[in-house]
Amino acid sequence: MSEHKLGAELKRYAVISLYLFICFTVIMLYGKSQSADESVSLVNFGLALGKALLLGKFILIGEVLGTGTRMQVPTLVHRIAWRSIAMLVVLLVFKLIEEIIINMVHSVPVSELFTELMKHSWLSLLAPPLLMLLILVPMITVIELGYALGKDGLRELFAKDQR
């Protein structure tokens, strides 16, 4: 990999991770504002950053794998929806693998992970993936618009005076 390509990938990783960090921080702050304990510590921000960095890497892996790009769809809107859902599936698979590895490190049987999941309500299991989908849609939209408008098209669109 050339230095230029490595630099571009690191910049892309930084932008995706920053976007996710902002989203996760806002979600964390909202959650804290709704609970009895409204205290926010550096640990909370560290967890949001760690999660953003990890999921940012998973998203880049999904991009390299071409997640959602092989499906032929008629419009850009369909492509954005399809890629967002496909990327969500990739993130859920990676999250499941992460949880399995964590359980293995702590010598907890994998069956216990699934037993623990079954204790939760369907709403508490469905809400986090839906929230992640809500975060993914704008990000995938910007990525797809970038592809549709060409190399510098998106930058020119945002930088150009539209009046």
pLDDT tens figures, 42-93: 888 999 999 999 999 999 998 888 888 888 888 999 999 999 999 999 999 9
How many domains are contained in the chain? 2
Q: Is the pLDDT of residue 34 over 90?
A: no
Structure tokens at 83: 């890629």
Q: Which residues of 90-127 are buried (b: 16+ CB within 10 A; e: fewer)?
A: bbeebbeeebeeebeeeeeeeeebeeeeeeeeeeeeee
Contacts of 54 (CB under 8 A, 6+ apart): 98
**Together in a domain, 82 and 150:** yes
Mean pLDDT check: name the lowest of 8-12, 59-63, 67-71, 100-104.
67-71
pLDDT band at 38 (very low <50, low <70, confident <90, very high): confident
**What phi and psi values does residue 119 have, to the nearest 5 degrees?**
-75, -20
**pLDDT higher at 150 or 92:** 92
Whether 60 is covered by a domain: the verdict is no
Whether 59 is covered by a domain: the verdict is no
**Together in a domain, 78 and 126:** yes
**Together in a domain, 116 and 158:** yes
Tell me the pLDDT tens digit for each residue of 67-78: 888 888 889 999
pTM score, whole prediction: 0.84
**Together in a domain, 83 and 139:** yes
Q: Considering the chain, what is the average pLDDT of its residues? A: 89
Q: Report whether 66 contacts 23 (CB < 8 A).
A: no
* Residue that terminates a domain, selected from 34, 54, 74: 54
Separation between Cα atoms, residue 87 and residue 62, nearest integer Å: 7
Domain hosting 48: range is: 1-54
* Residue that terminates a domain, selected from 54, 79, 94: 54
Q: Report whether 77 contacts 137 (CB < 8 A).
A: no
**Together in a domain, 19 and 82:** no
Closest to 87 in 3D by CA, of 98, 75, 99, 95: 95
**Together in a domain, 71 and 150:** yes
Closest to 9 in 3D by CA, of 69, 79, 48, 57: 57
